[in-house]
Structure 1
Amino acid sequence: MGWAPGTRLSLTVTEQRLLVAAPVAGGLVAMHDGFLRIPYRLRRQAGLAIGDRALLLADPSSASLAVHAPVTVAELLTPTLRALKEANR
């Protein structure tokens, strides 16, 4: 995303438990050594635990980053997995 160390980011959790990060002056967190440290309250709202692997989706045109927790990835893929099971019957 080209976010330099010290870039301030806003973090928002949507109704679908998607965490969205975007640069904004005075944002909640700052980039540090290429890492984004997500506060506990927001991790819990998004369904993220420390050490979880997450699916990241970047949109450079809007300079925003979406973070999907493992539980939300599973929810997104449930219809596909169901279709695969039905196709193999």
Structure 2
Amino acid sequence: MIEPIVPPPPVQERIHGAMPVRSVPREADASLIYGMSVVGEGGRVTARAVLDTLGWQPGTRLSLSCPDDQLILLRPAADGSITVTAGGYLRVPVRTRRRVGLSYGDLVLVMAHRRCGGVLIHPPAALDGLLASSRRLLEVVP
């Protein structure tokens, strides 16, 4: 049998360049739920899909805290100060909105954990910090 004539890899690399190494994307964590919402009048945040997945029905009482004065954390609590409204949305109090720099019309990331039952609302400033390395890719002028 006659062996095929194939140039050795270094010659192929000189002609075509090195083969790109592709990373395999990791799978998303199934216990996390994400949604996006625009902050409406009176601090209204609509995240119906997230709330429905957690089983938070209208009338569910929630406690509210602000970890590091950057995020809004909500958890079910019998004596909570926030209530899921009949329309299936949340109203973030004005003091909390000011504390985290949240304004009318801002787009927020709403993140929940299925097993732990908490919701985190990420204001734009928090997203800027989380996505700083990705933003650098956009800022490169070709």
TM-score, structure 2 as length reference: 0.56
Shift of 1:85: 5.9
Runs ≥4 in structure 1, deviation > 3 angstroms? 85-89
Change (3 A) 1:55 1:85: closer
Q: Aligned pair count?
A: 88
Q: CA RMSD in A?
A: 1.9
**For 2:92, which of 33, 38, 47 is the aligned residue?**
38
The 5-angstrom pairing of residues 28-67 of structure 1 reads 28-32=81-85, 33-67=87-121
Query: Aligned to 1:50, what secondary structure does the other structure show?
Result: coil
Unaligned residue ranges in structure 2 (runs of 5+): 1-53
TM-score, structure 1 as length reference: 0.86
Query: Aligned to 2:79, what secondary structure does the other structure show?
Result: coil
Based on CA coordinates, which of the two structures has the bigger radius of gyration?
2
% identical equivalent positions = 38
Unaligned residue ranges in structure 1 (runs of 5+): none
2:10 aligns with none
Change (3 A) 1:86 1:39: closer
**AA partner of residue 70 (structure 2):** R
